[in-house]
Structure 1
């Protein structure tokens, strides 16, 4: 169905919500209110200078991009949800990428290289960290997302900081568990010709 055939914005949000609920590992989907959006933007701003994952100051570019969109949804996931292709976490220092997460099958590329240190699926370039100065910055980048045949544009996925994740879980009674996560999805409606 073309989004141009929908009667109003609520129908569009329900269409996207129904699509997301069919994705393996997605448990619940909610439409973010203006009040929630303001609270989450404030929480993300406060989290910006905090240390993220014990590695460096956070810069959640994914959520920033999501919140530039006209429509915003949040969805909860379980361990069956397939994360976007890495990198989902990038460490920057002095304007250079010094670390990133990668797929498990890519780790072997770096295992025997003395310039790299591996921590799980996170890879650090030791050669670059020695020469750089300044605080490390942990970037959570925006990720593209495919909504199938739903005709919308500028679709982007973002992973929230811990305070935003906790706010959503508490506000909407989502179970707190290390096996469950939250993502935010933003998109713009296509312009329909009359």
Structure 2
């Protein structure tokens, strides 16, 4: 059953614009990625704070784990990153290039790629040992959640260390815009039971 589901999911990914190649990850891959993510979280960013990639952690607990590489045509998930300090959101990722431009010359904000941080609020932390918390969430993969026997499907953005590992597993062109993502699929346990019973009766 799991084989049928992940093969269908990979087929769907390959039909998605901007996705170069997708693969299923084995248990050994999952163990390696968990260690890489733990190592990455220990490396705090001076400006963005302590990373907490709740999206990847949730995906790694899924019944089926896939990975895929993208090219420049892939539409990246948006609004999945927030920087929180003392209970307040002081930074976030922004997908609109025009909106980012509005912050570039601001005296109150810093721009790191597509991440905008309220610099004035960050300055307030200079006299405290508390650091901001960088929260990265997963995004639902709606198309896969419509598959039979799939109860949940998530796409998560991994760390730089995991990104390099995935790229080593999947052949890709030397495109500067190549990115990587993890996909987690959870299976409906009741549906699997019904499928198994039906197969036993038919056989």
Q: TM-score range by the shorter chain?
A: 0.7 to 0.9
Structure 2 vs 1, CA of residues 56 and 176 (structure 1 numbering), >3 Å: closer, same or farther? Answer: farther
Task: Establish whether residue 102 from structure 1 lines up as the match of residue 98 from structure 2.
Answer: no
Q: Following the alignment from structure 2 to structure 1, what is the Cα–Cα distance between the partners of residues 143 and 151?
A: 10
Structure 2 vs 1, CA of residues 169 and 108 (structure 1 numbering), >3 Å: closer, same or farther? Answer: closer
SS in structure 1 of the partner of residue 68 of structure 2:
strand
Question: Aligned-pair distance for 1:131?
Answer: 3.6
Give ranges in structure 1 of 5+ residues lacking alignment. 1-7
Q: From 73, 82, 89, give the equivalent of 2:81.
A: 89
What's 1:150 paired with?
A: 147
Structure 2 vs 1, CA of residues 118 and 47 (structure 1 numbering), >3 Å: closer, same or farther? Answer: closer
When structure 1 is superposed on structure 2, of 47-56 and 140-149 the one drifting more is 47-56
Show the 5 A alignment for 1:39-58. Answer: 39-52=32-45, 55-58=48-51
Show the 5 A alignment for 1:130-169. Answer: 130-132=123-125, 133=128, 134-147=130-143, 149-151=146-148, 152-169=150-167
Give ranges in structure 2 of 5+ residues lacking alignment. 195-203
Structure 2 vs 1, CA of residues 153 and 116 (structure 1 numbering), >3 Å: closer, same or farther? Answer: same
Question: Aligned-pair distance for 1:136?
Answer: 2.5
When structure 1 is superposed on structure 2, of 162-171 and 47-56 the one drifting more is 47-56
When structure 1 is superposed on structure 2, of 36-45 and 172-181 the one drifting more is 172-181
Q: For the aligned residues, what is the CA RMSD? A: 2.6
Q: How many residues align?
A: 186
Q: From 40, 64, 68, give the equivalent of 2:57.
A: 64
Q: Following the alignment from structure 1 to structure 2, what is the Cα–Cα distance between the partners of residues 171 and 91?
A: 31
Question: Aligned-pair distance for 1:119?
Answer: 4.9
Q: Following the alignment from structure 2 to structure 1, what is the Cα–Cα distance between the partners of residues 159 and 142?
A: 23
TM-score, length basis structure 1: 0.82
Q: Do the aligned partners of 2:21 and 2:170 also contact (CA within 8 Å) in 1?
A: no
**Higher helix proportion, which one?**
2
Question: Aligned-pair distance for 1:113?
Answer: 7.6
Question: Aligned-pair distance for 1:101?
Answer: 1.2
Q: Following the alignment from structure 1 to structure 2, what is the Cα–Cα distance between the partners of residues 62 and 13?
A: 20
TM-score, length basis structure 2: 0.79
